[in-house]
Amino acid sequence: MKAIRQLIRNPFTRGAFFSLCVIAFVGIFSPLLTPYSPIDAKPEDRLLPPGHLHYFGTDELGRD
């Protein structure tokens, strides 16, 4: 119990735990956070360079 109390008092541990909670929240609720499907393809948008619609461009299937 003493070791657990020391971990709880450590600000680095609290920050790491908070970060893990945020990552878990985003991972669990990601379908609700974005309206786009990760597997929808648009063949007409294939191999586009980065721009305002596709920040990192598109791949050979037209996916973001």
Which residue has better confidence, 14 or 40? 14
pLDDT at 15 over 80: yes
Q: Decide: 26 and 13 in contact? Cβ < 8 Å.
A: no
Predicted pLDDT at 42: 84
Q: What predicted TM-score, i.e. pTM, was given to this entire model? A: 0.57
Domain that holds residue 49: 35-64
Residues 39 and 61 in one domain: yes
Predicted pLDDT at 49: 92
Q: State the total domains in the chain.
A: 2
Q: What is the DSSP string of 14-55?
A: HHHHHHHHHHHHHHHHHHHH-SS-TT---GGGTTPPS-SS-T
Residues 39 and 28 in one domain: no
Q: What is the pLDDT of residues 19-54, one digit of tens each?
A: 999 999 999 998 888 877 777 888 888 899 998 988
Residues 26 and 41 in one domain: no
Predicted pLDDT at 34: 82
Residues 64 and 40 in one domain: yes
**Which residues are CB-neighbours of 47 under 8 A, at least 6 positions away?**
57, 58, 59, 60
